[in-house]
Amino acid sequence: MTAFTLEFDRYKLELGSKTCIMGILNATPDSFSDGGRFNRFDTAVAQGLKLVKDGAHILDIGGESSRPFAPPVSESEELDRVIPVIEALVKEISIPISIDTVKSAVAKHALDAGASIINDITAFEKDPAMADLAAKRQAPVILMHMKGTPQTMQVNPDYDDLMTEITVYLASRADYAIRKGIKKENIILDPGIGFGKTVEHNLVLLNQLEKITALGFPVLVGPSRKSFIQKILSKKETSPLGPDHIRTEYGTLAAVAVSLMKGAHIVRVHDVEKVKPFTRILDSIRNA
């Protein structure tokens, strides 16, 4: 697989031979998996420290849910949720913090507070000022494919040619970022598992992920606890499986395995404790 070196701020991440694990910290009351569990300052900081202790290489902090049909939150509310948590954690941890936001003002305050990476699920489309900010601060960026918005993305998503549309979109957004002054080596692509995609779309995307990695950028995949896993595993159950069900976790590990074998560099997950030893074995096999 193609290897990349991501150098920024005081950090250096080697992406390729060893899986990079991004731990998810949702400081929100309504995220699809853990909404409400870590939306208090003390519980959010404690969970962040646990994710680092469990072996995360990046900590991704978000204050606005991007689950299907999630209502938007105000800039001030999002700042209140994430900035105190970032300020507290940056004093305690030695790994980079990513801010998961679509608002450039939130990203700016997060970078000022100690975050180093910008994770924008709209790939700079919602707030074009985000690209200018990333270029000015020389921050690595994660650009994701999403069909529609969180409010509309799961309303009958349809594609004429799934993989072509996603690869062309990601290539165009990466080109836009470069033209805005962001260094090519600071760009990470995310095909957007679960964002405007049916169960079948997600399966095809994972099965053909090499078409995304062929674009020549590090690739992040976030299958953790997604609804397509729950739907597949619930087909023969009397009641639907929830995101925290142990079988959903097993399903997540399967999706992580395929992602890595197809060339993903970073996996974004909730349960770092389980994923860490799993990826160590996968990396050993891939590097044999």
Q: Which of 81, 197, 226, 262 is catalytic?
A: 226
Nearest to 60 by CA among 15, 20, 17, 3: 20
Residue among 81, 268, 276, 286 flagged as catalytic: 268
**179 catalytic per annotation:** no
Whether residue 270 contacts residue 251, with contact meaning beta carbons closer than 8 Å, is answered with no
Residue written as tokens 């209140």? Answer: 80
Among 10, 123, 105, CA closest to 63: 105
Q: Collapsing DSSP states into helix, strand and coil, what is residue 241?
A: coil
Q: How far is CA 141 from CA 39, 57, 127, 147, 169, in A?
A: 25, 16, 14, 19, 16
Query: DSSP code of 148?
Result: S
- DSSP at 242: P
DSSP 217: S
The tally of CA atoms less than 13 A away on the side-chain side of residue 104 is: 15
Distance CA 126, CA 124 (A): 6
**Is the distance from CB of 259 to CB of 209 less than 8 angstroms?**
yes
Active site residue 268: yes
How far is the C-alpha of 287 from the C-alpha of 102, rounded, in Å? 36
Dihedrals φ, ψ of 12, to 5°?
A: -145, 115
CA-CA distance, 106 to 83, in Å (whole number)? 9
Any idea how long the chain is? 288
Q: CB neighbours (10 Å) of residue 126?
A: 17
Catalytic residues, which ones? Answer: 226, 268
